[in-house]
């Protein structure tokens, strides 16, 4: 999983255009003109389990109307998720980072709330002093 996989097709008889067909798909998934040696290399990049399946090549003769070869030999691709090595920090590391960020956010919200309570308390004291009202002592 995550690697590139290549499949080579060849024919030396005609000038052709190669197609890569995946079983279960109605249309070819890739198209390519051959190299000078009559080969075409189809590459699937960073394969995932969705790329698993049976692949075959076929070709159309260039300049000829709708004449194509039968499907070639099949190649079966099986893509399986690769387990993380022991001790590797994958999703668990990400969860730790999220937990630390959430903890810091909670502390910040608590400190801001405490600041607003203390600030409001001092405003109430100033209001009471300026109004000449009773002095309330806070504990």
pLDDT of residue 133: 55
- Distances in whole angstroms, Cα of residue 91 to Cα of each of 87, 95, 114: 12, 6, 35
Give pLDDT tens digits for 30-44: 888 877 777 888 888
Residue in the structure block whose two tokens are 């040696």:
37
**Global pTM?**
0.54
pLDDT of residue 138: 56
98-125 burial, b if ≥16 CB within 10 A, otherwise e?
eeeeeeeeeeeeeeeeeeeeeeeeeeee
CA-only gyration radius of the chain, Å: 35
Residue ranges in the chain modelled with pLDDT below 70? 13-14, 64-66, 84-94, 97, 100-101, 104-105, 107, 109, 111-117, 120, 123-124, 127-139
Q: Answer for the pair 72, 57: CB distance below 8 angstroms, yes or no.
A: yes
């Amino acid at each position: 999983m995550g690697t590139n996989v290549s499949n080579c097709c060849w024919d030396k008889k005609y000038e052709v255009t190669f197609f890569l067909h995946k079983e279960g798909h109605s249309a070819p998934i890739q198209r390519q003109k051959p190299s000078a040696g009559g080969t075409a290399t189809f590459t699937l990049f960073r394969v995932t389990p969705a790329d698993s399946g049976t692949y075959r090549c076929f070709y159309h003769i260039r300049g000829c109307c709708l004449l194509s070869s039968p499907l070639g030999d099949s190649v079966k691709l099986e893509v399986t998720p690769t387990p993380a090595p022991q001790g590797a920090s994958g999703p668990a590391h990400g969860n730790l980072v999220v937990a630390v960020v959430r903890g810091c956010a909670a502390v910040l919200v608590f400190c801001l709330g405490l600041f607003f309570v203390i600030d409001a308390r001092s405003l109430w004291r100033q209001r009471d002093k300026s109004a000449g009202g009773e002095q309330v002592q806070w504990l």
